[in-house]
Amino acid sequence: MKADGQVYTPLAELGNLTSTLSAPPHSEHYSVVSSELVYVPQDPLDVTEDGMGITEEQAEAIIKTAELLEEEGDVVKVWTNLA
């Protein structure tokens, strides 16, 4: 049986957790495919029509800008705070 999952941990614990999960006895039950830093927004923006978030047009503009940035050779990763 194959199952996929994600684990989130504070930055200070990332290396330790990756090492622990990659070593026996844990490595006998599953494997760590990747370990990386990600941006998890504290206050994600929602697309709403009631004025409490951002409009669909604003969200599309943000996504387009992020995609253009990702195409640049010097850019490694682009994150937004869109929900």
Could you read off the pLDDT of 27-70 as tens digits, one per residue?
888 888 889 888 888 888 888 877 778 888 999 999 999 999 99
| Token couple for 81 | 């705070």
3-state SS track over 50-80: CCCCECHHHHHHHHHHHHHHHHCCCCCCCCC
- What's the pLDDT at 75? 93
- Closest by CA to 80, choosing from 56, 58, 55, 63, is 63
Q: What is the pTM of this model?
A: 0.64
